[in-house]
Amino acid sequence: MKLRPVTHALSLSLLLLLPIASHSQNPIADWDAITQNTVVTVGLRSPAAAFVFFAYVNVAEYDAVNSINHHYRPFAVSVNAPRSASIDAAVIASAHDVLVHYFPAQQPALDADEAASLGALPNSQGKTDGIAVGRAVAARWIAMRASDGVEAPVVYIPGSGPGVWQPVPPFPPPATPWMATMTPFTYSSPSRFLGVIDTPPSLSSRAWASDYNLTRTFGALNSTLRTPAETEIGRFWAGNAGAMYSQALRILISEHHLNTAQSARLAAMQNVTTADSLLACFNAKYHYGFWRPYTAIHNADTDGNPDTVADPNWAPLVTTPGHPEYPAAHGCATDALAVALRTYFQTDRLAYQVSSPITATTHNFRRLSDLVNEVDMARIFGGMHYRHSVLQGNVLGTAVACHVLQSRFDVACRLDTDD
């Protein structure tokens, strides 16, 4: 099977891998960097789980802003606020309080960050009122989400047999099974979108054999078919997507000169759509419990398909994540993110820059659809997913993103990629 080439630019950009310095005069960008540090760098949350915590923060920021300027319908919370209240102060206080609630061990550092951020604002009644607005919104938002099941002690026991997921080297326990049962941000049941996607292919089908052999040949650690550029792509996207897309968001805010209110809407649209797509995705993952390529290739003699040949020595290019294969989480998340950005900017033709801590390189995209295509192929080059899984992840990501954008942001999702 011939792979469609992906156009991308690679350049060393270590500077972008570091948190953006505080006090950029845009508190959304500043506290996005602080959130990244709190959730990923110090909190060590997984790529998928990170988006849930970004969404907590972004909703509080967005509703704090809207409580003051009333430009949009609030996402969840509205409090009485004088029009003269400082939007920047409200954002800082709301972000701080949400992060302290979910990461109490980091309160001393977060308190210092808040003091520095608020200290950069001139003292005024507006600043005092803004802080009060931010605290009130955060408190109500935290109370609303008190029983949502985040990081609940959900136990998942892997099965056995052909097609069934089992942990693979380095054999971690099932990752974030609570994401399969957590109450999403914009719909009531985590299984609501399960029927949007197909089931995994039958192990006796030609489709399964095709997907199997594509990943077996292009995703192997010692693949002779994968080009050096494709190897770099596979490794590039093994970084924590929560951190990588956080940095990319801050670049968009800077390059498009977005003010605090505009940035709050962009951040909330991006991370709520992404978080809710991943909750639907993990519900599907743990529902189907489909095996990873490592297990499938080592045990292909059990799948009953004459067109799959077992290889007990096969290893993937990239370490396989510790959760079931179908559908691909990155396929869900990146497609949802692309739909949100395409809708916000009303174009697919958006310059988008993202950097990886794994390869210390930067990829520059001219279109959001190119971003989705590269990520899809990266999961095959990395040896952790099948083609059907990433494409169905895209389908799920689109469905959830359109629901989020239409139901909570009152905007029709933009799917056109031909502009």
Q: Tens of pLDDT along 158-214?
A: 999 999 999 999 999 999 999 999 999 999 999 999 999 999 999 999 999 999 999
Alpha-carbon Rg for the chain in angstroms: 22
Residue 1 predicted with pLDDT over 60: no
Task: Compute φ and ψ for 151, nearest 5 degrees.
Answer: 55, 30
> Which pLDDT does position 25 carry in this prediction?
80
Classified as helix, coil or strand, 379 is: helix
What predicted TM-score, i.e. pTM, was given to this entire model?
A: 0.93
Average pLDDT, the chain: 94
pLDDT in tens, 115-146: 999 999 999 999 999 999 999 999 999 999 99
The pLDDT score that the predictor gives to residue 15 is: 31
CA angle 216, 221, 227 (to 5 degrees): 85
- pLDDT tens by residue, 289-328: 999 999 999 999 999 999 999 999 999 999 999 999 999 9
pLDDT tens digits, 38-71: 999 999 999 999 999 999 999 999 999 999 999 9
Query: Beta strand pairing status for 361-365 and 9-12?
Result: antiparallel
Q: What are phi and psi of 164, to 5 degrees?
A: -100, 135
Q: Is the pLDDT of residue 10 over 80?
A: no
Tokens standing for 159?
A: 């099965």
- Coil, helix or strand for 398? helix
Residues 335, 190: Cα–Cα separation, whole Å: 18
Distance CA 65, CA 72 (A): 9
**Residue 9 banded pLDDT, cuts 50, 70, 90:** very low
Complete edge-to-edge strand list for the sheet that includes strand 9-12: 9-12, 361-365, 352-356
Mean pLDDT (whole number) for 385-412: 98
Can you give the pLDDT at residue 362?
98
pLDDT given at position 417: 87
Query: What are the tens digits of pLDDT across the range 363-397?
Result: 999 999 999 999 999 999 999 999 999 999 999 99
pLDDT at position 229 over 80: yes
Q: Could you give the angle at the alpha carbon of 125 between the alpha carbons of 68 and 75, nearest 5°?
A: 20
Domains of the chain from N-terminus onward: 9-408 (1.10.606.20)
CB 158 within 8 A of CB 305: no
Task: Tell me whether residue 206 is exposed, middle or buried, using C-beta atoms within 10 angstroms of its C-beta: 0 to 12, 13 to 18, 19 or more.
Answer: exposed
pLDDT > 90 fraction of the chain, expressed in percent and rounded? 93
Give the model confidence (pLDDT) of 79-88 as tens digits.
999 989 999 9
Beta bridge partners of 164: 290
Task: Examine the pLDDT at 4 and tell me if it is beyond 80.
Answer: no
Pairing outcome for strands 352-356 and 9-12: unpaired
Residue 2 has pLDDT above 50, yes or no: no
pLDDT given at position 24: 57
